[in-house]
C-alpha cells in the first residue's frame, strides 16, 4: 500500500488492499470530504497520515511539513497527522535542548499557521521546554492537536520514555534529556471522532490505550520515530493489536530514513523505520505511506467503530472484578 491507499469500510470480512494508483478514487473521496455544493457532508471524513525525515534543520523541516499538509488538504483530508519530533531530530540531547522552544514560540506558531491556512485539524509531535529547562536543559516530548483555526485543542506530554540498550544494535536513553509527562490527556472531540493522543513508545503499553478507550476514544494516534530494529520486529503488530483490543482506528505517522549526516566525532546518524499507517477497528491496515516524505489517505468511519463494538462487545465483557 502506498500514497492514495483505499480505506476499508466493511465489517466483518477480509482486509482489502489499497488503490495503489490513487487518481479517480482520491478525487472522489476529496469531493465527499469537502461536501456537496450546498455544504452537506457526504461519506466518512478523510485523514492523512504522513511520513517525514526530520533533521536538525528546523526551517527545512517546517517547509516539508507545510508541503505535506498542503497536499493532504488539497486531496480532501479533514485531519492531518505528522510524526513525532516533526520540528527536528538531531544527534545529541544537548543539541536538542538548544533547539527546543516553548509552546508559545515560533515553531508551534508555524504549525498553528499551517492548520489555519489549510483549514485542517493537525496532529504533530514537537519538543517542548520543560519547567526546569533553564537549569538542566530537559524537555518534554509533546503531542499537539490543533483545530482548523490553528487553536491548540490538546497537549499530551509523553509519559513512557524510551530507554533501550540492545548491544551492538541500538542504544537510546530518552530519559537523559526528556522529562516524563505527568498525565494522560482526555480524548478530544474532532470532525473525525473522539481522538486520543499517545506518542511512539506509548504504543507498547496496552493499559494506556485502554484508558483512552474507556474515556471515549474512537481514534488513537501515535506519532512515532521507531528505530529500524524495533520497527521491523514490532511496528505493525503493535499498532494492529492496539486497534483490535480497543476497537478504535489507530493513526501512526512516522519518521523515516536517515536523519542527519555525521559531523566530525558525532555518532552515526539515526535511521527511522517509517511505514506510517492507518489501522481500522477490525485490525486491518487501510493506508500506508511509501518511501521518504509521503502521505496516505484513509476514511475514518465512526459508524464502523460502533458496528465493530456492538458486534463484538469486548469492552462490556471485561472482568473488572478480576483485573
**Which residues belong to the active site?**
84, 158, 200
Phi/psi class of residue 43: alpha, beta or left (left: φ > 0; alpha: ψ in -120 to 50)? left
Are the C-beta atoms of residues 286 and 278 closer than 8 Å to each other? yes
**Which of 116, 117, 118, 63 shows the shortest CA–CA distance to 87?**
63
**Which of 307, 312, 248 shows the shortest CA–CA distance to 279?**
248
Tell me the backbone φ, ψ of residue 157, rounded to 5 degrees. -110, 125
**Which of 172, 173, 159 shows the shortest CA–CA distance to 222?**
159
Residue that the C-alpha cell 535511521 belongs to: 271
**Nine-digit cell string for 293:** 516524505
Question: What is the spatial distance between Cα 280 and Cα 309, in angstroms, rounded to a whole number?
Answer: 12
Orientation of helix 58-74 relative to helix 106-118, angle to 10°: 20
Q: How far apart are the first and last CA of the chain?
A: 38
Are the C-beta atoms of residues 201 and 235 closer than 8 Å to each other? no
**Nine-digit cell string for 62:** 517546517
Query: 213 in helix, strand or coil?
Result: helix
Are the C-beta atoms of residues 123 and 145 closer than 8 Å to each other? yes
**Nine-digit cell string for 32:** 465527499
Tell me the backbone φ, ψ of residue 313, rounded to 5 degrees. -80, 65
Amino acid at each position: 500500500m502506498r500514497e492514495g491507499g483505499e480505506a476499508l469500510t466493511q465489517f466483518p470480512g477480509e482486509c482489502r488492499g489499497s488503490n495503489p494508483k490513487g487518481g479517480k478514487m482520491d478525487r472522489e473521496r476529496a469531493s465527499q470530504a469537502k461536501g456537496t455544493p450546498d455544504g452537506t457532508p457526504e461519506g466518512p471524513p478523510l485523514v492523512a497520515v504522513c511520513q517525514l525525515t526530520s533533521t536538525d534543520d528546523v526551517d527545512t523541516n517546517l517547509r516539508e511539513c507545510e508541503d505535506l499538509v498542503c497536499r493532504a488538504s488539497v486531496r480532501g483530508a479533514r485531519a492531518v497527522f505528522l510524526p513525532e519530533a516533526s520540528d527536528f531530530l538531531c544527534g545529541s540531547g544537548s543539541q536538542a535542548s538548544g533547539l527546543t522552544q516553548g509552546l508559545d514560540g515560533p515553531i508551534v506558531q508555524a504549525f498553528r499557521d499551517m492548520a489555519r491556512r489549510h483549514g485542517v485539524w493537525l496532529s504533530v509531535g514537537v519538543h517542548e521546554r520543560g519547567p526546569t529547562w533553564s537549569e538542566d536543559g530537559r524537555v518534554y516530548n509533546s503531542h499537539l492537536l490543533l483545530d482548523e483555526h490553528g487553536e491548540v485543542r490538546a497537549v499530551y506530554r509523553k509519559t513512557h520514555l524510551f530507554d533501550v540498550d540492545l548491544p551492538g544494535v541500538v542504544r537510546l536513553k530518552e530519559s537523559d534529556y526528556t522529562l516524563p509527562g505527568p498525565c494522560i490527556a482526555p480524548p478530544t472531540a474532532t470532525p473525525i471522532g473522539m481522538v486520543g493522543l499517545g506518542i511512539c513508545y506509548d504504543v507498547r503499553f496496552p493499559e494506556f490505550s485502554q484508558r483512552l478507550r474507556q474515556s471515549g476514544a474512537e481514534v488513537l494516534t501515535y506519532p512515532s520515530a521507531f528505530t529500524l530494529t524495533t520497527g521491523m520486529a514490532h511496528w505493525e503488530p503493535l499498532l494492529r493489536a492496539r486497534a483490535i483490543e480497543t476497537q478504535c482506528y489507530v493513526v501512526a505517522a512516522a519518521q523515516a530514513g536517515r536523519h542527519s549526516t555525521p559531523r566530525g566525532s558525532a555518532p552515526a546518524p539515526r535511521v527511522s523505520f517509517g511505514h506510517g499507517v492507518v489501522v481500522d477497528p477490525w485490525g486491518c491496515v487501510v493506508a500506508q505511506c511509501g518511501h521518504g516524505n509521503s502521505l496516505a489517505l484513509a476514511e475514518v468511519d465512526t459508524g464502523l467503530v460502533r458496528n465493530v463494538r456492538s458486534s463484538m462487545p469486548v469492552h462490556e465483557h471485561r472482568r473488572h472484578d478480576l483485573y
